[in-house]
């Protein structure tokens, strides 16, 4: 008989993050914007189905802890909110072109800080760098000239998701593995 592996083997891990995921209308508006930015800046567009805003990046998490994360998300008490994406730009250091809100709504700040706090309490590693919400639309882009003013798009946030990121030859592919509603008042 083959020896049974002792409990020393590391548990299998998956790459996870919490995010806001656009609905079909929002996704298409953002995808159009990405197309326009691409004409000016080149680079690689984010595929429409992959467009999102990261709330908290967890990195590699043991599969055995996914249920714990889902329970944590389920009891989080966040509020629904609307916000305007009205600001586009490009980061020279990582060649990412993005759109972002001009002012970050308090409900988003509260949601992210509460998520970060609870993740920390539960012993998950979270990136504590200042949170800068943005939608990445181009990678490996080069936009030396100012991007044209964009027409504001309103994102009505009613829920948030937990996403598994899988590396593929075509780049990262995302699978939503949980979705939780935010309270709409």
Nearer to ligand ATP, 116 or 165 (CB): 165
In whole angstroms, how close is the CB of 110 to ligand ATP at the nearest point?
A: 19
Nearer to ligand ATP, 122 or 166 (CB): 166
Nearer to ligand ATP, 17 or 160 (CB): 17
In whole angstroms, how close is the CB of 172 to ligand ATP at the nearest point?
A: 4
**CA distances (Å), 91 to each of 75, 140, 174, in order?**
35, 10, 23
Residues that bind ligand ATP (CB under 6 A): 15, 17, 54, 57, 127, 136, 139, 165, 171-172
Token couple for 38: 């691409």
Q: Taking a C-beta distance cutoff of 8 angstroms, is the pair 90, 141 a contact?
A: yes
Nearer to ligand ATP, 131 or 180 (CB): 131
CA 185 to chain centre: 24
Token couple for 169: 């030859």
In whole angstroms, how close is the CB of 54 to ligand ATP at the nearest point?
A: 4
Q: Taking a C-beta distance cutoff of 8 angstroms, is the pair 85, 153 a contact?
A: yes
C-alpha 43/C-alpha 89 separation (Å) is: 14
In whole angstroms, how close is the CB of 169 to ligand ATP at the nearest point?
A: 11
Nearer to ligand ATP, 166 or 183 (CB): 166
In whole angstroms, how close is the CB of 163 to ligand ATP at the nearest point?
A: 7
> What DSSP element (H or E) covers 70?
helix 66-74
Q: Taking a C-beta distance cutoff of 8 angstroms, is the pair 131, 112 a contact?
A: yes
Picking from 116, 171, 158, the residue whose alpha carbon sits closest to that of residue 20 is 158
């Amino acid at each position: 008989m083959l020896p049974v592996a002792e409990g020393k083997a590391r548990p299998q891990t998956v790459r996870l993050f919490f995010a806001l995921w656009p609905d079909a209308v929002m996704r298409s508006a953002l995808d159009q914007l990405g197309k326009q930015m691409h004409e000016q800046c080149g680079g690689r567009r984010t595929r429409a189905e992959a467009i999102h805003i990261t709330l908290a990046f967890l990195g590699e998490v043991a599969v055995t802890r996914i249920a714990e994360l889902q329970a944590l998300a389920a009891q989080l008490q966040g509020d629904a909110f609307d916000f305007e994406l009205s600001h586009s730009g490009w980061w020279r250091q990582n060649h990412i072109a993005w759109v972002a809100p001009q002012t970050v709504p308090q409900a988003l700040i509260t949601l992210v800080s509460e998520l970060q706090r609870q993740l920390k309490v539960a012993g998950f590693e979270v990136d504590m760098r200042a949170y800068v919400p943005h939608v990445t639309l181009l990678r490996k882009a080069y936009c030396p000239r100012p991007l044209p003013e964009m027409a504001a798009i309103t994102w009505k946030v009613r829920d948030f998701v937990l996403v598994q990121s899988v590396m593929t030859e075509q780049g990262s592919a995302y699978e939503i593995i949980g979705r939780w509603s935010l309270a709409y008042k």
